[in-house]
Amino acid sequence: MFIATLIAKDRLPGGVISAAEDALRRVDVEPMGRSWIEEDVACDLLFSASLGPVRLALEGIFPGVDVIVQGEAGRRKRLLVADMDSTMITIECIDELADYAGIKAEISAVTERAMQGELDFESALTERVKLLKGLDASVIDRCHDERVRITPGAIALVRTMKREGARCILVSGGFTVFADRVAAEIGFDRAISNRLEVAGGKLKGSLGLPIVGAEAKREALVAEAAMAGIELEATLAVGDGANDIPMLQSAGLGVAFHAKPAAAAAADARIEYGDLGTLLYAQGYARGEWEAA
């Protein structure tokens, strides 16, 4: 049995659910019932056909409504692996550091191309970090305090999953000086990220090796699952950029979050309207079951 979960950013009208059922019938899939997770917000539609046609039939057709299609069995995942920048937090940290150095426009343009998959991530990251050489390291704390904001729903997602026995890992192509603090604030078990090298209180314009890129993210997912004895089908990955694609494709459920087109196309599902709490509805948790911040 499979489920298509309709999750509204604001309110889910009954007419949308009926329209979704009609969309299923147009691809020769007969709905087998509906079940509210959260009244007027999130609803499951049950069916017993292949996933592909249902995704094509439902995703993106209802403004303000995200649709996540998956198997009903095992929907509550035992491992979460999440990207940080523009996923668990609302900014790209390297772009904000560049702003303090007066070169944000230059670096942001490269960041955008790397996240779109137009540039090799590791090479692009190395070149952007070189441009930060000489920046006072004290700016890192200032940037964290002034600009880092946790994405709505992130804390509830991680803390609810951990309460239910899941392991939660933050894997970032960003920097340890941010990722470690973000992981602790949200409640992750640990963080994996890149180390900015500092000497004499200044950024050296270099990174410690190895660099956490696309393949490292995928390897982290696979390794964490293996160490915990968790089948990949029981894993959930979420990210927004091209460097998240291998991780998203390896997870039992890979979700693109307000993502670049390449990541959205590669993922099993995408969140275009809601916040990270959408991933709790997708796992069948009503809001009253969410762990508070």
Q: Which of 44, 66, 85, 268 is catalytic?
A: 85
275 labelled catalytic: no
String of DSSP letters for the chain: -EEEEEEESS---HHHHHHHHHHHHHTT-----EEEEETTTEEEEEE-S-HHHHHHHHTT-STTEEEEEEESTT-S-SEEEE-IIIIIBSS-HHHHHHHHTT-HHHHHHHHHHHHTTSS-HHHHHHHHHHTTTT-BTHHHHHHHHHH--BPTTHHHHHHHHHHTT-EEEEEEEEEHHHHHHHHHHHT-SEEEEEPEEEETTEEEEEEPSSP--HHHHHHHHHHHHHHHT--GGGEEEEE-SGGGHHHHHHSSEEEEES--HHHHHHSSEEESSS-TTHHHHHTT--GGGSPP-
Q: Which of 10, 22, 40, 83 is catalytic?
A: 83
240 labelled catalytic: no
Task: Write out the catalytic residue numbers.
Answer: 83, 85
